[in-house]
Structure 1
């Protein structure tokens, strides 16, 4: 911990500790404030925004700026995206069949349209196109995690110093707007088309009770080992790609390494742990939850909100246009493409939730 020229610098250890505290603050807030629970605001977002707001007030009153060493956050970021790769099964993807393929195509097209809208509105305000992309698919489809992951790259490549704050603000307000939009769209479609849910012949009786998976220390270490193996290959892949002149964030290559290894290793492959590759296990899920929650909390608590004062207008203008686009796409593209059924209306509610 150092204090110099009105800047309080907190080391990585303090930053991680503070991130954990922020997580618990967010948990208490979500338990106490109905609005946060109703709109499914994640705990690290609730706690992180509160703390960053308090730090902004400290800066406004005393001119003291609090900064954090976020090296540990970057490690947690790589951990999280590696677990996503480990849990990605192409076999399960194929089980989705035609509806999943249609939804995937629509989503990709929608991402392109989000970026076009974002860039257009940003350009109208005289801002760089990358500003519009940060308030487009990066933060709205990608969410807080993707916005935080790409923000440093955007800041370095395009000189947009407030990239992190723009991405997080867009993801946060996008989450709220999506929560407000999804349910009403589904209700509108169901009422307009007089849709009725299909009735299952044997609902709960056919569902076999899943035994609770007991987590041991060796299960946890097995998952950590698998993550580290993927990160090693991810680092090597990242270095090989950089030799071609293409620069990718490390989390992307680690994510890809996790996907490839998971889908190439057969279940019978002998491992030193004596267990199968830990895809979709309780241990991997636990590590993913810890990594995601902590790196989100650390990112949001370290936001310098005062840098967004002059950018609030463009951000809200872009988000307003994104909301209009999402409503139109849901009603006139997603719903017809998914068959205009009750299930299609439910899909629209979910699609609104990722918009």
Structure 2
């Protein structure tokens, strides 16, 4: 079978059409739109399934590469001291950092103060979920006469942890006698990314409609359609119509991304586990509140939201399109059983625990959808779930401060301790 390896630029080039494909499908599938499945997830999965079908049928094996070394593309997200070495970066890294910068620029002190007491509470809930994921995985693996380490791979190692944690612990698991830890870990993490994006919207939508939260209208409640025109081209046209205002915000965004890259580099140099996009987000928070406290009002949250929506849509379309779904096609039966149970469990946990403990209000419902995203997949998926909700039902500022902070940074600290404890228990 011929192998076709595509450069990372194809991902970037194809992302807008894939996003438009997702929007077109949602317009023609009201049941998908009703449950707020993000457009890039729909379009990206369609392309991913097409690539999988071509591979299974023996026509062609299409593979996407994701790393680039082009200096003009990586400069913005890399401090100069590192940039001169021409490091390889993900082609979607500028989009990811730009989006988290937008979250930071919209985090006013009022929002941060309101959500500060809920931050440790949400971290505690996310940690409890991670412990439960490992317990469920280990118990089910033993019931099916499989290695308990398979249960750990199908637990928080790959779900709450994602691809990075799964591959990071793979060597340790292989030393413990589980030879296929890296392959199965990547497959489980891919499964989580897909289903974390698919169930977050329905879980939160059910809570919002059941408890009549947010700004759901009677028309929307019956048809499932929002009245505001949203999508890639409407957002592009709206941004273009702003002229110099849009240019000013884009320049500010670039400055914050660059400063955030230096902050992330400094933290990593100090030995702190610090995702690159957290530096941009924190820098954005600081700058926004310095401007607000000094009496400035030239950051328009609506413009920042518009830019953020565009960046997130293109980023997630690239991420979903680049998933290797053939990893799932080759997954063993016991593994799929465990992962399926994990999906049902997190839907129940976020509905009955996350929503209740986070306040039983609209923000709590949006956080439940976000928790599905990073509890099974990754923080960008969580934010995409929440973005699809707030575009229909109204803003949830606390959710956009708490969920990314816990999902992108804090949960990795507690989850590593959780995984280590289970590894020692299973020795």
Aligned to 1:217: 243
Which of residues 283, 298, 303 in structure 1 aligns to 2:323?
Answer: 303
In structure 2, the CA distance between the partners of 1:292 and 1:229, relative to structure 1 (3 Å rule), is same
Choose which of 95, 114, 122 in structure 1 pairs with 2:129.
114
Written as runs of structure 1 = structure 2, the 5 A alignment for 1:240-319 is 240-266=266-292, 277-278=298-299, 280-282=301-303, 284-309=304-329, 310=331, 311-319=335-343
User: Structure 2: 5+ residue runs without aligned partners?
Assistant: 67-89, 142-148, 171-181, 213-237, 372-427
**What's the counterpart of residue 132 of structure 1?**
155
Aligned counterparts of 2:272 and 2:151: Cα–Cα separation in 1: 22
- What is the CA–CA distance in structure 2 between the aligned matches of 1:348 and 1:75, rounded to whole Å? 30
Unaligned runs of 5+ in 1: 139-149, 188-211, 270-274, 339-343
Is 1:33 the counterpart of 2:33 in the alignment? no
Report the Cα distance in structure 2 between the residues aligned to 1:251 and 1:29, rounded to whole angstroms: 31
CA distance in 1, matches of 2:107, 2:276: 18
Shift of the alpha carbon at 1:27? 0.5
Shift of 1:156: 5.2
In 1, the alpha carbon distance for the partners of 2:169 and 2:257 equals 24
Q: Partners of 2:362 and 2:262 in 1: how far apart?
A: 42
8 Å CA contact 2:151, 2:338 repeated in 1: no
State whether structure 2 residue 61 is matched by structure 1 residue 65. Answer: yes
CA deviation after TM superposition for structure 1 residue 17, in Å? 1.7
Alpha-carbon separation, structure 2, partners of 1:352 and 1:161:
25
Structure 1 21/278 Cα, relative in aligned 2: closer, same or farther at 3 Å? same
* Stretch deviating more after TM superposition (128-137 or 218-227): 128-137
Q: SS in structure 1 opposite 2:150?
A: coil
Show CA shifts across 1:256-297 (max 9, x none). Answer: 12112222235658xxxxx85525141x22221111001101
Aligned equivalent of 2:20: 24
Q: 1:83 matched to which residue of 2? A: 102
CA distance in 1, matches of 2:361, 2:268: 44
Change (3 A) 1:308 1:176: farther
Cα drift, residue 32 of structure 1: 0.2
Match of 1:9, SS state, is: strand
Q: Deviations over 1:2-60 (max 9, x none)?
A: xxx83212223321121111001001000001111111111101111111011111110
Deviation, 1:106, is 4.2
Q: Contact 1:83/1:255 (CA < 8 Å) preserved in 2?
A: yes
SS at match of 1:46: helix
Displacement of 1:250 after TM fit? 1.1
Q: Give a deviation string over 1:180-215, Cα, whole Å, max 9, x none.
A: 74257638xxxxxxxxxxxxxxxxxxxxxxxx9994
Conserved? CA contact 2:239–2:246, under 8 Å: no
How far 1:112 moved relative to its partner?
A: 1.6
- Whole-angstrom distance in 2 between the partners of 1:220 and 1:180: 32
Instruction: Go from structure 1 to structure 2 and tell me whether the alpha carbon gap of 1:137 and 1:247 turns closer, same or farther (over 3 Å shift).
Output: closer
Preserved contact between residue 15 and residue 68 of structure 1 (Cα < 8 Å):
yes
Deviation of 1:84 (Å) = 1.0
Q: Do 1:165 and 1:304's aligned partners in 2 also have CA atoms closer than 8 Å?
A: yes
Work out which of the residue numbers 41, 44, 47 in structure 1 matches 2:43: 47
Shift of 1:166: 3.1
From the CA coordinates, give the structure whose radius of gyration is larger. Answer: 1
Q: Is the 2:130–2:156 Cα contact (8 Å) retained in structure 1?
A: yes
Do the aligned partners of residues 154 and 248 (structure 1) sit closer, same or farther apart at CA in structure 2, a change above 3 Å counting? farther
Aligned-partner Cα distance in 2 for 1:350–1:232: 30
Deviations 1:277-328 (A, max 9, x none): 525141x222211110011011111111121232432221112222332343
Query: Which range is displaced more, 235-244 or 309-318?
Result: 309-318
Distance 1:234 1:292 in 2: 18
Pair 1:93-2:115 in alignment: no
